Amino acid sequence: QAKESGRGGYRFFSPEMNQKLLERRALEADLRVALARGDFRLAYQPQVNLETGAVMGAEALLRWDRPGVGNMPPDRFISVAEETGLIGPIGTWALQEACREAMTWPDHLTIAVNVSPVQFRQAGLFEAVVSALESSGLAAGRLEVEITEGVLLNDTDETLATLRRLRSVGVKIAMDDFGTGYSSLGYLQKFPFDKVKIDRSFVRHLGDDRSAEAIVRAVVGMSHALGVHTIAEGVETAVQADMLRQRGCEEVQGYMYGKPMSGDDFVEMLTCSTGVSHS
């Protein structure tokens, strides 16, 4: 079918490349429809104080039930949303929705929202955050923006300015997936973070890999020296939780404490328990 395309360039594409292109086009079209129809949802995963077991807040995670396909994980569509510019409106929606939902929670709880590198660099990110706070009425100090190292790789001055602006109004900044890719301990000094999220890839190997243990120890130690809190991602076992506690990590997030769930289920979990108990 590629050969019959009226567009000259396509005829030299391999069938496989053409297939990929068509799939991307279909995905982009479906994302547009989902955005217009309001098909996206947010799931909330509890963040728990490791010492007391108290729920401190939740991370909002994008969910999409793609028609004809079913649940599609964000890792599989965020990149297309970034390439097509759709990440702007999708991210703005997520900020609005997350803040609105968090207003229904007890007011000591925080809400963390992921902001992708492309979204972060777009003009109007700061304004979108402020608008989400104003229209929901959520106190700025309850909102945490999660960024990855991808945000920090380019445009350092502008990035730094945006981070400072966000913090100047009281919004918290968390460094997501810390320790993966090119992120270095130097980032902790250079950029103003309130929280460091230790990536799941290290947490997963706690208990069976000495180097993972050493990395966790180093990240927690350095973070504390700089006055930054740490939270471990992807905690699934009591062994992992114990090792994290021994190393001074303050907070945890993971299937052991709760999978991402609907806003209603999150509120129900809050009322049914005062936290996860530890032995």
| Residue 177 binds ligand C2E, judged by CB under 6 A | yes
Report CA 216 to chain centroid distance, whole Å. Answer: 20
**Cross-strand bridge partners of residue 199:** none
Residue 75 touching ligand C2E (CB under 6 A): yes
Count Cα neighbours of 234 within 13 Å in the Cβ-side half-sphere. Answer: 13
From the CB of residue 186, how many other CB atoms can be counted at a distance below 10 Å?
A: 9
Sign of the four-CA dihedral 31, 180, 219, 152: negative
Task: Please report where in the chains the tokens 């990590």 appear, as a residue.
Answer: 249
Which strand (E) or helix (H) includes residue 2?
Answer: none
- Helix or strand or coil: residue 45? strand
User: Least CB distance from residue 16 to ligand C2E, whole Å?
Assistant: 26
260 binds, among Mg ion, ligand C2E, none (CB under 5 to 8 A by kind): ligand C2E
Kindly tell me which residue out of 46, 57, 91, 263 binds ligand C2E, with binding defined by CB under 6 A. Answer: 91
Residues 217-256: x/- map of binding to ligand C2E (CB under 6 A)? ----------------xxxx-----------------xx-
| Residues in contact with ligand C2E, shown as a per-residue x/- string from 123 to 162 under the rule CB under 6 A | -----------------------x----------------
CB 51 within 8 A of CB 229: no
| Cβ-count burial 191-217 (b if 16+ within 10 Å, e if not) | bebbbbbbbbebbbbbeeeeebbebbe
- Binds 238, which of Mg ion, ligand C2E, none (CB < 5 to 8 A, cut-off by type)? none
Q: Which of 47, 92, 110, 114 binds ligand C2E (CB under 6 A)?
A: 114
CB of 233 to ligand C2E, least distance (A): 6
**180 token code pair:** 């993966």
Q: Verify binding: residue 86, ligand C2E, rule CB under 6 A.
A: no
Where on the chain is the footprint of Mg ion (CB under 5 A)? Answer: 114, 146, 176-177, 233
Where on the chain is the footprint of ligand C2E (CB under 6 A)? Answer: 45, 61-62, 73-75, 78, 91, 94, 114-116, 119, 146, 176-177, 233-236, 254-255, 260
